[in-house]
Amino acid sequence: MQVVAVVGAGHVGLPLGILFARGGYRVILVDTDQRRVSLLRSGKVPQLELSLANDYAAFLKRGIISISDILVSANVYVIAVPTPVERREPMLRLLFAAIVEVSGILKCGDGIILVSTCPVGTTAAIARYLKRQRCDLVSPLATDRHPDYYLAISPERAMPQQVSVEVGCILRCVGGVSSCSTRWAVDVLNRGVGAKCMEMTDKEAEYVKLAENTFRDVNIALANELDLIARHHELDPGVLLEMANTHPRVAIHLPGVGVGGHCIPVDPWLLAHGIPNLTLIPVARFVNDSRPKLVASCLIDHFVAENVCNPLLLGVTYKENSADFRNSPSLAIICELQKVYGENIRVVDPLLELSSDLGINLVCVDNHIFDEVDAFAVLVKHRGWECLWEQALISGLIKESNVFGVDVLTR
């Protein structure tokens, strides 16, 4: 049985590892986060879709999946570490640290697949590094001999918590640093996770993933600007954008409180990295990054006008029905409101543990939750939010408003 080492057992790496186990591989999940390692060894898999969670428990028990905090020898190395952005610059420390580790144990016949999202040219740079470091092996860049190892990139396109469904219906972009590497990676991903693949070069695969999320970011920014214009003219943006979208060649996104997660706020900067004189992408990023502060300011004005002193907010995560709060605009809004209301502001999110160290006043959902609050604002419409809305109405919060897309009840 071939062994797959998945480096980075987070939102991307963990579900992929389980799918590889389903595909007949023995899987080693490698992570340096000791808290995550402990959770995984205990069989706990937070933020994982149910079908994968059940399989994970069974594979762990049978020894098909194992957990390690150090990299060990394998046949396939899947690199699934984060590639964040700081001050508009890609931070690739974790990625290159993983490659350094792999280079030390790489052997003839092995292969590396990057599933992390990277700036264009990253895979080629890794190929050059490996060629220098492992001169005892024939590089996949060699043109006169068959390579001793393979290197390809296939950035993950599936949405977290929907991986098991989307991995089979969304085409994977697979690009190797050579045609041999591309064919090898396509074969591994097809047999391992049942992926349908589009073959391309490494740079093309890097570019496509970044372009699709940049498209979404720019279109959300447009929707948010159209929202501002409609409100300036005292028009209902929701109704008007729905009317505009009846045209067969128009598909305007919905405006919102901001953009979150690890992809859409990050990938435009990875795409723009090193390219001078770009205008649209930075402006779109500014529009969407400014949105939470604008929404918070409007909420504060509304609360002041309604004499609200103790608001309750629903939702911390960056999207509905997910426990993922990375780059969450809702969390940014809450932090802005805390500057005015301090500990008087309460927050509920049924998908987060009360012990979550987010610096906010998370409270539990119970029958007395509305006893001491004078406003209820829905930042994230998790499944079942309507029940809380009904509970708020029964408690006497009956005045309904919509503040920049946020449904609000006050007394």
- 373-382 tens-digit pLDDT: 999 999 999 9
pLDDT above 70 as % of the chain: 100
What residues contact residue 115 under an 8 Å CB cut-off, 6+ apart?
Answer: 12, 13, 16, 78, 79, 80, 153, 154, 155, 156
> With 90 as the cut, is the pLDDT of residue 172 above it?
yes
How buried is residue 116: exposed, middle or buried, by Cβ count under 10 Å (0-12/13-18/19+)? Answer: buried
Amino acid at 367: N
How buried is residue 289: exposed, middle or buried, by Cβ count under 10 Å (0-12/13-18/19+)? Answer: middle
Tell how strand 346-348 and strand 311-314 pair up: parallel
Amino acid at 365: V
CATH of region 214-405? 3.40.50.720
> With 90 as the cut, is the pLDDT of residue 282 above it?
yes
Model confidence band, residue 83 (pLDDT cutoffs 50, 70, 90): very high
DSSP state of 254: P
Q: Residue 62 is encoded by which pair of tokens?
A: 């049978």
* Average pLDDT, rounded, for the chain: 94
Residues 280 and 209: their CA atoms lie apart, in Å, by 18
Q: What is the predicted pLDDT for the residue at 159?
A: 83
> With 80 as the cut, is the pLDDT of residue 46 above it?
no
Q: What is the predicted pLDDT for the residue at 163?
A: 81
What residues contact residue 307 under an 8 Å CB cut-off, 6+ apart?
Answer: 374
> With 80 as the cut, is the pLDDT of residue 239 above it?
yes
Task: Find tokens 């992809």 and name the residue.
Answer: 263
Mean pLDDT of 53-79: 96
Model confidence band, residue 393 (pLDDT cutoffs 50, 70, 90): very high
pLDDT above 90 as % of the chain: 86
Mean pLDDT of 207-233: 97
Q: Residue 79 is encoded by which pair of tokens?
A: 């690199």
Mean pLDDT of 284-292: 97
Residues of the chain with CATH 3.40.50.720: 3-195, 214-405
Q: What is the predicted pLDDT for the residue at 406?
A: 93
Amino acid at 91: M
Residues 270 and 84: their CA atoms lie apart, in Å, by 9
Q: Which helix (H) or strand (E) holds 190?
A: helix 179-193
Model confidence band, residue 178 (pLDDT cutoffs 50, 70, 90): very high
Q: What is the predicted pLDDT for the residue at 365?
A: 84
Q: Which helix (H) or strand (E) holds 182?
A: helix 179-193
Residues 356 and 132: their CA atoms lie apart, in Å, by 44
> With 90 as the cut, is the pLDDT of residue 158 above it?
no
Task: Find tokens 């092996």 and name the residue.
Answer: 137
Residues 383 and 230: their CA atoms lie apart, in Å, by 29
Tell how strand 197-201 and strand 346-348 pair up: unpaired
Residues 395 and 371: their CA atoms lie apart, in Å, by 7
> With 90 as the cut, is the pLDDT of residue 354 above it?
no
> With 80 as the cut, is the pLDDT of residue 395 above it?
yes
Amino acid at 135: C
What b/e readout covers 69-84, taking b as 16+ CB neighbours within 10 angstroms? eebeebbbbbbbbbbb
Residues 383 and 87: their CA atoms lie apart, in Å, by 35
Model confidence band, residue 252 (pLDDT cutoffs 50, 70, 90): very high
What residues contact residue 283 under an 8 Å CB cut-off, 6+ apart?
Answer: 221
Task: Find tokens 């060894």 and name the residue.
Answer: 41
Mean pLDDT lowest for which of 4-13, 45-54, 344-353, 381-390? 45-54
> With 90 as the cut, is the pLDDT of residue 167 above it?
no
Residues 339 and 332: their CA atoms lie apart, in Å, by 11
**Cβ–Cβ under 8 Å, residues 92 and 118:** yes
User: How many other CB atoms are found less than 10 A from the CB of residue 309?
Assistant: 14
Count CA atoms closer than 13 A to 185's CA, side-chain side: 34
Give Cα 179 to chain centroid, integer Å: 30
Prediction pTM value: 0.93
What residues contact residue 223 under an 8 Å CB cut-off, 6+ apart?
Answer: 241, 252, 253, 254, 255, 256
Q: What is the predicted pLDDT for the residue at 243?
A: 97
CATH of region 3-195? 3.40.50.720
Q: What's the pLDDT tens digit per position in 191-202?
A: 999 999 999 999
> With 80 as the cut, is the pLDDT of residue 168 above it?
no
**Cβ–Cβ under 8 Å, residues 117 and 10:** no
Active site residues: 209, 263
Model confidence band, residue 49 (pLDDT cutoffs 50, 70, 90): confident
Residues 33 and 263: their CA atoms lie apart, in Å, by 21
User: How many other CB atoms are found less than 10 A from the CB of residue 173?
Assistant: 21
Nearest-5° Cα angle at 11, 9 to 17: 50
